[in-house]
């Protein structure tokens, strides 16, 4: 599947792991529930713009970055 939810999910997971964060910590810092973050990473939730913004802030990226299809190693 390559729809927007899968793209967001794989981006969140990749940046979270790169930061050494658990789903629990990312969720807690974002004001979200761990099970919700897990579902987002699996592309199972139609995440809202505000929640994209919250998660992006915790991951230290601009929100739009989480919607970009991943095409390998990037500078940013």
Contact set with a copy of itself (CB under 8 A): 3-5, 8, 46-50, 52-53, 62-69
Task: Find the shortest distance in angstroms from Cβ 25 to a copy of itself.
Answer: 22
Distance CA 73, CA 23 (A): 23
Task: Find the shortest distance in angstroms from Cβ 59 to a copy of itself.
Answer: 14
Task: Find the shortest distance in angstroms from Cβ 50 to a copy of itself.
Answer: 5
CA-to-CA separations, 2 to 26, 30, 34, 67, 69, in angstroms, rounded: 24, 25, 24, 11, 9
Distance CA 62, CA 1 (A): 24
Q: In the complex with a copy of itself, which residue's Cβ is closer, 24 or 53?
A: 53
Q: In the complex with a copy of itself, which residue's Cβ is closer, 50 or 72?
A: 50
């Amino acid at each position: 599947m390559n729809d927007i939810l899968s793209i967001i999910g794989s981006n969140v997971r990749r940046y979270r792991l790169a930061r050494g964060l658990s789903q629990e910590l990312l969720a807690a810092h974002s004001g979200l529930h761990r099970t919700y973050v897990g579902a987002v990473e699996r592309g199972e939730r139609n995440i809202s713009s505000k929640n994209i913004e919250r998660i992006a802030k915790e991951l230290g990226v601009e929100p739009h970055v989480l919607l970009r299809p991943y095409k390998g190693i990037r500078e940013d």
